[in-house]
Each structure stands twice: as C-alpha cells, then as structure tokens.
C-alpha cells in the first residue's frame, strides 16, 4: 500500500492509533465517519439539482501528558493521517491541561434503536423524483393561489462511524434516514406567504398529497394577515415552533456553557428553574428518533438523562471534560464538530407533554396569540435569555380563531418564560426532529406590532 492510497475507515483508524503511540501519546480517542447521500430538488416539473455525495473524515484527540490536541482530516491516506497526528500533537503542546479520564470498554445499552433500515440502500433517485413530482402536482391542486414551489427536496442519507480510544474502546454504528421537504409560496395581490412541510424518518414512506396540503395550507392561511396592536398577551407557541425556541435555548443546560461562565443556570442544580409542570429529558435511546445513538463521540455509552424534573434542574448535559469541570456525571452527550473538537449535543431533547388539548390552551384566556411561525433567531441570546423575534400566527378570542396576524414581534426572556408557562398540550409535532416540545401556553409576553 502506498502512502498516497486511500484507506478504508477501519484501516485509517489503525494507522492513526499506531501513529499516535509512535508520537509518544498513550491516551487518545478517535472518531472516523463515512457518509453517503442521494438527493434531488424539483422545480417546475423538472429535476433541477441532483446530489450524490460520498464523504469521509477522521478526528483525533490525543494527549501529551494531560494536554489535549485535536485534529481532523478528510484525506484518508497514510501521509495525510500521519500529518493529522503530527498536527494534533502540535496543538497539544499549546493547550492547557484538561482533567478527564477516557472511558473503559463497557457493554452498550441493549436497545434496538431501529435506525439502520437496510431497505434504504435500495431507495433510488427515481423514487425520489416520483415523490417530488407528485408533491409538486398535488400542491398546485390544493389552492389556486399557489404561485410557486421554490423549495422541494428529497434525500436519503447513510452514515457509518467508528469510535475508539487508547483504553480499548471500539464501537461501530450505522444509521440511515430520509427527508422530504416542500415550501409553497401563495400569493394574493402583493402579499406572498410561504408554508413549509418537512418530513423525515428512518424509512422512505411519504404521503405526497398530505405534504402538499400541509405546506399550502400553512401559506394560504396567513395571506390576509394583519399586525396586532402592541401590548402584553398570552401566547400559545405551536408545537411547530416551540422546538425551535427550546432548541435555541438548550445551550445554558450544557456543562460547557456553565464552565465558561455563559449560562444563567450556573449554580442552579437542585433549584426550581421552571414551573413544576416542566420536565426535560434527553433520551438517545428512543427507537427510530433523529437523535438516537448507543454511544457518543467520546465512547461513553448513551443513557436517558433527566435534565429537569418537576421544574427543578437535575444536571447539565456534558462531555467528559465539562462534566469534570462542573462536577456533574458524564451524560454521554459528547459530539465532535467539524474542527474535530469535542462539544455537547442534544439527543432527543424532550420537554414532557402535558394533559391538555391544544383547544383548551387556546381557550384558556379571553384572547391570546397563537404563534405558528417564528422569523429569525439573531435577536435571541442563549446567554442573556433575551427573545426578540418576528412571529406570525392567529388571534384567538374565547377559544375561536378571529384573524391571522403577521408583522409582529414577541419579546420576553427565556428564563422568565420557564416560570410563566401556564399549560402544555398533549401533542408533539410529527416532524422528524431532535427536539420535542408540545404546544406551550405562556402569559405576559410583550408583542409589538
């Protein structure tokens, strides 16, 4: 084998482990991953973009003494891998010491995650094309005000990974998923609104007609929206947008943010940070979900983590280093970013459902704003908790929808919002996501219009 020959993933891992030891490091961990993807876009009856990708990469964190250095490469040749180890070693000479112990081999949870459906290997571009064309045709039939479908995409993804370390941990995984999304623009006069429906899952079984109908309805229902007078309103965040908001404010629950002094939840373990109805769980062991796995990027076995119970903060989500730095147990939520550095991930982050129906929440006050679209997140800060964000939705009076609303902003603070939650619905969105939050009723939200 020449030094410039491309290696398999397993061969690359072996080379890097050997080179790390040769470089004088007796502690290291490695994650190597390989993915392939098929996807296409359809516009105006034609496949306008077809995408086939085959990508690989390898990340190493090695320690010189207790100093970690990280490096990643997408070139899996012996020469390139040697250089990657050399670079990680050079970074380690610069880093400060990190207090952590790499995990020992352990039995992984005996859970069938059902994330590797072998039939996905046989999903073809032709099937994707047929689905997309069906969605497009159906969308124009739903409503004559549909002007355009600028976004219509179907894809199939597969990913394999190997995680190993110098203690003998060696785990492998393989996952597959598909996604299908459509964005429909409806027009009435000079007003345009876009409705989006994005589906996903571990199989390829989509109902084109219902996707088209949902996207179009979401566009059309807001066409004659008007602003709302500025004031303080009760707001129901639809389960279409509540995951977006709670996902944005997940990082204060990360031990990493606590350690860096960028979380208002520092020192709050054991204290009430939300109303008692709030429970937050991270459960990577949920079968078929988007954020499921049996081991994390540091080789820590996955487990169900109760982050908030009865409104009381139980722990932070952590990596090995941030767990040690903040004194919490590792939660098996380590991930490697594109730079090869270890960060924290969300793993099926769930705010527990309530017992009320959405209709009950919408009728809880004499009037409320039901938010179904959020626009932009730049004015939301996970550090300060500030939320200032554009919203669209519907005004409800005594439980009845009275008119659509747009050109308003909602303004509150996430850490205050957790104490102002007045109800949770009994339903999650059926979108394929990593964050699950039911409809949420909050009072005292400032609305500007």
Partner 1 sequence: MEQRHAERLLQAGCERGADFVELFQEETRHTSLSYANNRVETATSVTRYGVGIRLLFGTDVLYTQTSRDDESHVLRLIDAVCAVREPTIGSGARSRRHAIDWRSPDLEPRHPVVLDPRGVGPERRLDVLRRADRAARSVSHRVSQVNARTEDVVSEILVCNSEGLWAADTRTRCRFHVTVTAEGGGEMFEAREAPGAQQGFEFFDELDVEALAHEAAERAVRLVSAGYVTGGQMPVVVGNGFGGVIFHEACGHLLETEGVRHKASVFAARLGEQIAHAEVTAVDDGTLPGSWGSVRMDDEGMPARTTVLIKAGVLQTYLSDRLGAQQTGVPRSGNGRRESYRHAPVSRMCNTYIAAGLHTPAAVIASVDNGLYAKKMGGGSVNPATGEFNFAVEEAYRIRHGRVAELVRGASLIGQGETILPRISMVGDDLAFAAGMCGASSGHVPVTVGQPTIRVDEILVGGR
Site for partner 1 in 265-324 (CB under 8 A): none
Q: How many residues bind partner 1 (CB under 8 A)?
A: 84
Q: How far is the CB of 213 from partner 1 (least distance, A)?
A: 19
CA 52/CA 39 separation, integer angstroms = 7
360 Cβ partners below 8 Å, 6+ apart?
423, 425
Residues 45-84 as x/- pattern, contact with partner 1 by CB under 8 A: -xxxxxxxxxxxx----------xxxxxxxxx---x--xx
* SS3 label, residue 425: strand
| Smallest gap from residue 263 Cβ to partner 1 (A) | 8
Of the pair 80, 435, the CB lying nearest partner 1 is at: 80
Residue from 166, 314, 411, 427 in contact with partner 1 (CB under 8 A):
411
| Contact with partner 1 (CB under 8 A) among 78, 92, 154, 442 | 92
SS3 assignment, position 184: strand
SS3 state of residue 423? strand
| Subset of residues 145 to 164 that bind partner 1, contact rule: CB under 8 A | 147-148, 150-151
Q: Shortest distance, CB of residue 132 to partner 1, whole angstroms?
A: 11
Q: What DSSP element (H or E) covers 289?
A: none
Yes or no: say if 249 and 264 are a contact pair by the CB < 8 Å rule.
Answer: no
Alpha-carbon span 309 to 319, nearest angstrom: 21
Structure tokens at 406: 């747009």
125 touching partner 1, by CB under 8 A:
yes
Q: Is 264 in the site for partner 1 (CB under 8 A)?
A: yes
Please provide the distance, in angstroms rounded to a whole number, between the alpha carbons at the two ends of the chain.
Answer: 67
Regarding 192 and contact with partner 1 (CB under 8 A), the answer is: yes
Q: Which is nearer to partner 1, 7 or 169 (CB)?
A: 7
Applying CB under 8 A, the span of 198-206, 357-365, 420-428, 441-449 interacting with partner 1 comes to: 441-449
For residue 17, the cross-strand partners are none
Stretch of residues binding partner 1 (CB under 8 A), selected from 18-26, 107-115, 350-358, 380-388: 380-388
Q: Could you tell me which of 445, 377, 383 has the C-alpha nearest to residue 417?
A: 445
What is the footprint of partner 1 within residues 240-259 (CB under 8 A)?
259
Distances in whole angstroms, Cα of residue 20 to Cα of each of 60, 306, 311, 370? 9, 37, 46, 56
Please report whether residue 381 would count as binding partner 1 according to CB under 8 A.
Answer: yes
- Residue from 38, 255, 274, 307 binding partner 1 (CB under 8 A): 38
- Quote the CA–CA distance of 212 and 137 in Å, as a whole number: 9
User: Least distance in Å: CB of 1 to partner 1?
Assistant: 13
Of 183, 334, 393, 423, the one binding partner 1 (CB under 8 A) is 183
Residue 316's φ and ψ, nearest 5 degrees, are -110, 155
3-state secondary structure of 100: coil
* Interface with partner 1, residue 2, by CB under 8 A: no
């Amino acid at each position: 084998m020449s030094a410039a020959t491309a290696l398999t993933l397993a061969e690359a891992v072996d080379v890097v482990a050997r080179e790390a030891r040769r470089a004088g490091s007796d502690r290291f961990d490695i994650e190597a991953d390989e993915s392939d993807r098929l996807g296409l876009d359809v516009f105006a009856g034609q496949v306008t973009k077809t995408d086939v990708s085959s990508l690989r990469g390898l990340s190493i964190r090695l320690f010189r003494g207790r100093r970690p250095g990280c490096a990643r490469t997408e070139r899996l040749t012996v020469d390139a891998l040697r250089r990657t180890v050399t670079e990680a070693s050079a970074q380690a000479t610069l880093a400060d010491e990190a207090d952590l112990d790499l995990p020992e081999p352990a039995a992984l949870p005996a859970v069938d995650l059902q994330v590797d459906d072998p039939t996905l290997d046989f999903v073809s571009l032709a099937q994707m094309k047929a689905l997309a064309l069906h969605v497009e045709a159906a969308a124009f039939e739903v409503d004559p005000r549909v002007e355009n479908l600028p976004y219509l995409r179907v894809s199939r993804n597969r990913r394999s990974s190997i995680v190993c370390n110098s203690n003998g941990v060696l785990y492998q995984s393989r996952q597959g998923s598909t996604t299908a999304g459509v964005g429909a623009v409806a027009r009435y006069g000079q007003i345009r609104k876009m409705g989006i429906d994005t589906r996903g899952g571990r199989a390829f079984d989509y109902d084109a007609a219902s996707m088209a109908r949902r996207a179009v309805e979401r566009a059309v229902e807001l066409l004659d929206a008007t602003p709302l007078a500025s004031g303080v309103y009760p707001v129901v965040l639809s389960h279409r947008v509540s995951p977006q908001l709670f996902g944005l404010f997940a990082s204060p629950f990360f031990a990493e943010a606590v350690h860096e002094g960028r979380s208002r939840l520092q020192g709050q373990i054991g204290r009430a940070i939300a109303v008692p109805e709030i429970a937050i769980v991270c459960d990577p062991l949920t079968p078929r979900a988007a954020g499921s796995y049996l081991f994390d990027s540091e080789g820590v076995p996955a487990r169900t983590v109760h982050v908030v119970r009865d409104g009381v903060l139980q722990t932070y989500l952590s990596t090995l280093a941030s767990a040690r730095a903040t004194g919490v147990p590792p939660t098996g939520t380590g991930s490697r970013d594109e730079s090869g550095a270890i960060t924290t991930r969300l793993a099926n982050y769930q705010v527990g459902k309530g017992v009320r129906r959405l209709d009950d929440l919408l009728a809880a006050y004499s009037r409320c704003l039901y938010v179904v679209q959020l626009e932009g997140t730049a004015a939301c800060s996970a550090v300060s908790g500030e939320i200032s964000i554009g919203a669209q939705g519907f005004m409800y009076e005594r439980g009845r929808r009275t008119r659509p609303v747009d050109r308003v902003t909602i303004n509150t603070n996430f850490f205050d919002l957790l104490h102002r939650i007045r109800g949770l619905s009994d339903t999650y969105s059926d979108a394929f996501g990593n964050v699950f939050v039911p409809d949420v009723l909050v009072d005292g939200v400032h609305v500007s219009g």
